[in-house]
Structure 1
Amino acid sequence: MYSIIVVPPPTPEDEHRPAQIRLAPGERLTFGRAPGNDLPIPHDGVSRGAGELTAQGAFWILSNLSAQATYVVENPEGAGEHIKVGPGRLDAPVPFEFSRIVLPAAGDLLTIEVWAPRHDYLREGAGPDGDTTAPAFSVDRTKRYFAVLAALCEPRLRGDPHAPLPTVDQVVDRLRPVWPAASRTSVQWNIDYLAVKLRLKPGPDTADPGPRLNGKKESLVSLALRFDLVCEDDLVVLAGPSARAAR
């Protein structure tokens, strides 16, 4: 079974180029300006032997064979998430399910898309017996604190990874359709509660107040997005009952 799917950059001149190239685990694909590559990219700004992709089951690795150019691998669904693969770097693992390799080419930015649709999971009952592991972060998506967290994360989940976070007053206004009684005091209380619940601050059962947490909202949003505590689908909690029923 194939492991990754490579979508070459569009080249109207080459009508015979396949729209997709599928690689099974262990298979490699070379790309570059030279015609002998598996994926020729006829651009003067691309090295003759620019790089190599290798399928590795549920993920893939990228080797940058250029002597000067840094390649960027973007996660189009990750709100700005990306990795950089420097010149000469071999076998850099890429963890994204959907990826876009960006090649700087003499003033142009060429892209190669790579999809990794294969997902491998541990079979139920295959793990060792014993007590279950406590979850790293336990959140209840039906609680008001989760709606507050979703409102804080919303601007960056909507596609702007560097969007300024909403003020407390803006969060109050955003929550009015689902929480008419929301106020500055109640929203701020939930933000403080989240800081303790997500272990950014010590709980009330300890005498240690911990260090002062500057940028509390920024820390909460960064943690929530990094570990997928809030995803774009979760923004439905910010919609009124009629909007949710229409989905």
Structure 2
Amino acid sequence: MHSIIVVPMHSACPDDHLRLEPGDALPFGRVAPSHSPHSPHSPHSPHSPHLTIAHEGVSRTAGEITAAGAYWRLSNLSSAQTYVVENPEGAGEHIKVAPGRLDAPVPFEFARVVLPAGSDLLSFDVWAPRHDFLDRPGPRDGAPTTCAFPLDRGKRYFQVLVALCAGRLRGEPHAPLPTAEELVERLRPLWPSVSRASVAWNIDYLAVKLRLKPAPDSTPGGGPRLNGKKERLVSLALRFDLVREDDLILLHGNRSVVR
């Protein structure tokens, strides 16, 4: 699994996502640098990834993201602007990265990097879907085991997965999958701000976490593609017991889910 996935602003499809392995660095700014910001004397390959943010209020070399296993670090290479990294699922939870700060660790599984740019606030998302777990107690002799299906039952995406599987978890193996509108209505009592867009975002994120490959017959633009993704998510979740009947309680007033 890729360690870190960067979702550019206004990204329309997974092909736009930038995927980083542990140790990879992704510079971002108004123009692509000719060298790595951290190593000014080392040539920067023209084929290296770069997140271009074409706005006159963004520094030419604004910052750099470095993948570090199950989390990532942010370097603020601007001389004057503080960057804010928000947890979109938190209740205002965020960290500040001061100008010139290098390698600030970011602890959020989902994060939104917010950049002041003139009179605008620009942002892009960073996902950290990889979870590592110790597979036995005691000292470790080697690298930790990567979880096959790294799901956090305290996150909204898990609520969405339970809502997708609810009919079949209730003993109806051929129950049709809920539409986007039905998912919104099912989740609204627990998640008042839920929308079709936020449900689709969580379904996309689940597909990343569960490493679903694009369907061979997927089509751009919505309907069939989203429905096919939902069907594959539900099939995988039920086959490997990623959701169980007991999880249906999450749809009935359990308020411990992260907001």
Q: Which has the larger radius of gyration?
A: 1
What TM-score, normalized to structure 1? Answer: 0.49
What TM-score, normalized to structure 2? Answer: 0.47
